[in-house]
Chain A
Amino acid sequence: MVDEGTLKALEDKVAELKRLIQQDGLELSEELSLLERKLEELRREYFAKLSDWDRVKLARHERRPTGIELVEKVFDDFYELRGDRLLGDDQALRGGLAKLGGKPVVVLFHQKGRTLEEQRRYRFGMAGPAGYRKAARLMGIADRLRLPLISLVDTPGAYPGVEAESHNIAGTIARSIETMLSVRAPTVAVIVGEGGSGGAVAIACADRVLMLEYAIYSVISPEGAAAILWKDQKATPKAAEALGLSAPKLRALGVIDEVLPEPLGGAHTDPDATADTIREALMRHLDELFSLPLDELLALRYKRYRDVGSYREIETGSFLQDL
């Protein structure tokens, strides 16, 4: 049974060998190709029977490309805009102007950190009210200037804290949703890592919602669901399975429009290829959306969100007998 620890150990070994070959000029290419073959084999085995909990771990992988890393690869000339024009600038949710295939776009993305210092600065990608106010501000730019809005979602959720509650985090998320839904230009969201609940949906109410293959999108973290519904932390993998948070499951449910394939081993094994996939998909979807007149674009968006849900109508009166 291959686990992510074995994979990581092997990945580290391969990286170390590459470094030795490159830096010290050691003749280790035979050892390297042997290890690489072994790694490939183990990856195939691991990814062939990936559980949803495995996917959660991949989505949170410490080497998974972060927001800014993807933005710099997917877009050209990213120009960061900062501040919510009220209280500050939240670096857990960043954004700005950029070019995609030569055309201007407005970009929003959650930012996670790698080093301890970065994780503190970005608060693990958990944005507070200032972040979502900035998001709404940038959505306003897209709306007024009729620029397409693209968001890359990667957050465990909105920041839970006394200050966030004091500054109305809930109302700010509501406002962000409202603003995004009313942008008079095409909008595309890509769930690239963790799509954590309200903090994710706040910048994901787009005309098209895409998702990387091993990203997750969930109403609650598997840990949270295990604690609340199972009253048992050990039920976390079970909760991950039950929540339907994987890209294929969400595609089947119609919540997302397309699953973007990741390299074998996950996005972190080849960030360039991952970025290429995202860019290609964004350009394709934007092309389609650009061909629609504004009223049709907005009507389709209205229909998409007005009709979402799963319920059935029953005969009135039959209900009480049924019980």
Chain B
Amino acid sequence: MPIWKDEKKKNRRDYVEVTPSRAEDLWLRCQSCGELVFRKKLAQNSYICPHCGAYFFLSAEERIASLVDEGSAADVTAPLVANDPLGFVDRKPYPDRVKEAQRETGLLDAVKVVEARIEGHPVVLAVMDFRFIGGSMGSVVGEELCLAMERAIELGVPFVLVAASGGARVQEGVLSLMQMPKTVLVRGKLARAGIPYIAVFTYPTTGGVLASIASLADITLAERGTKIGFAGPRVIEQTTKEKLPPDFQTEDFALARGMVDRVVRREELRSELGKILSLLDGGRYGG
């Protein structure tokens, strides 16, 4: 569960097997130090292990709670559910997979959208949830993100996206791929309206989401411990036989190569967003 250990450990990136937590678990075991932690205490601590400093996986709801001013969030996620346009069956039918994910997360799909305030600044905030079929972007996620951006335009407030996605939703085929131009299109409308767009890359921000909406923000932050990349390490190794550098696709790799503006520790994310939002507040040429 922990995705980042707050210590100078060389192989701190052994976070491949991230098991998202279930909502009903009252106690969680930190897989970094082995201690049992009371969930409520963990929540108060931005889901950072009080014993060893490791980061726990966050659901969309927990992420929202960790970022917005208390009591300020109004859920505006549209009541949309995925169809099964291809009648897709792999080891189980797609509709069953969706139902299962809904049951497990209490979400309709892999994103939750709220109107909220961050350190006093009103925003439209969209948070993706990796527990829901790997945070993959299918038709519902694409539509929710577009509606969220349109809401930000309507309200005249900044749009904040917290990305957490394995990429496109394979079970919806090319319709998932089409969510890339779809979200990019509405991002263009946001730009023409002069609405700020801040993206936060969290574990993991990859594939089709990174290759569309996530990469086109005005300001981009990466949470410490995230993974940022287009192709999976296995695909790269198989295709190119290249040896991957130890920091490959880490947040520091992205920072050094100019893909993000800053790397931010989880406990500082809210104040960092607040700072950016206040820097962007008012004083626009032409009003």
Contacts and interface: CB of A to CB of B under 8 A. Distances in A.
A286 interface: no
A219 B80 contact: no
Nearest to A157: B231
B172 A310 contact: yes
Interface in B26-82: 78-82
Contacts of B170: 219-220, 225, 228-229, 243
B184 A162 contact: no
A173 interface: yes
A243 B181 CA distance: 20
Contact of B81 (A160, A169, A312): A312
Nearest to B187: A178
Interface string B181-211: 1101111100000000000000000011011
Nearest to B142: A309
Contact of A174 (B173, B211, B239): B211
A205 interface: yes
B216 A178 contact: yes
B259 A171 contact: yes
Interface in A282-323: 302, 305-306, 308-316, 319-320, 323
Given A162-B236, A197-B177, A201-B177, A170 B210 contact: yes
B184 A174 contact: yes
Interface in A166-197: 166-171, 173-175, 177-178, 181-182, 195, 197
B180 interface: yes
Contact of B242 (A162, A250, A310): A162
Given A165-B231, A198-B230, A312-B81, A244 B185 contact: no
A139 interface: no
Contacts of B143: 309, 311
Contacts of B239: 160-161
A126 to B, nearest CB: 8
Given A306-B186, A310-B172, A323-B99, A161 B240 contact: yes
A124 to B, nearest CB: 9
Interface in A199-217: 200-202, 205, 217
A273 B215 CA distance: 41
Contact of A219 (B89, B103, B168, B258): B168
A218 interface: yes
Interface string A132-170: 000000000000000000000000001011101111111
B90 interface: yes
B186 A243 contact: no
B226 interface: no
B140 interface: yes
A255 B212 contact: no
B229 interface: yes
A230 interface: yes
B197 to A, nearest CB: 13
Contacts of A235: 90
Contact of A310 (B175, B184, B240): B175
A315 B139 contact: no
Nearest to A178: B184
Nearest to B78: A313
A319 B90 CA distance: 25
A305 B169 CA distance: 17
A264 interface: no
Residue from A174, A201, A311 with most neighbouring chain B CB atoms (10 Å): A311
Contacts of A228: 170
Of the candidates A175, A195, A253, A306, the one having the most CB atoms from chain B within 10 angstroms of its own CB is A306
Contacts of B171: 229
A168 B257 contact: yes
A245 interface: yes
A310 B172 CA distance: 9
B91 interface: yes
A312 B208 CA distance: 23
B271 interface: no
A263 interface: no
Given A182-B188, A219-B168, A244-B173, A305 B181 contact: yes
A170 B211 contact: yes
A144 to B, nearest CB: 17
Interface stretch (B1-9, B243-251, B272-280): B243-251
Contacts of B78: 313
A130 to B, nearest CB: 15
Contacts of A220: 168, 170
B131 to A, nearest CB: 15
Given A174-B212, A201-B180, 15 more contacts: A162-B248, A165-B229, A169-B231, A170-B229, A177-B184, A218-B173, A219-B169, A244-B86, A245-B173, A245-B174, A250-B174, A253-B85, A309-B139, A310-B82, A319-B81
Interface of B: 78-83, 85-86, 88-91, 99, 102-103, 106, 108, 138-140, 142-143, 146, 168-182, 184-188, 207-208, 210-216, 229-232, 235-236, 239-240, 242, 244-245, 248-249, 253, 257-259
21 contacts: A168-B259, A174-B184, A175-B216, A177-B181, A177-B212, A178-B184, A178-B188, A178-B216, A181-B185, A198-B207, A201-B181, A217-B174, A219-B172, A219-B174, A219-B176, A244-B174, A253-B86, A311-B81, A314-B108, A315-B79, A323-B102
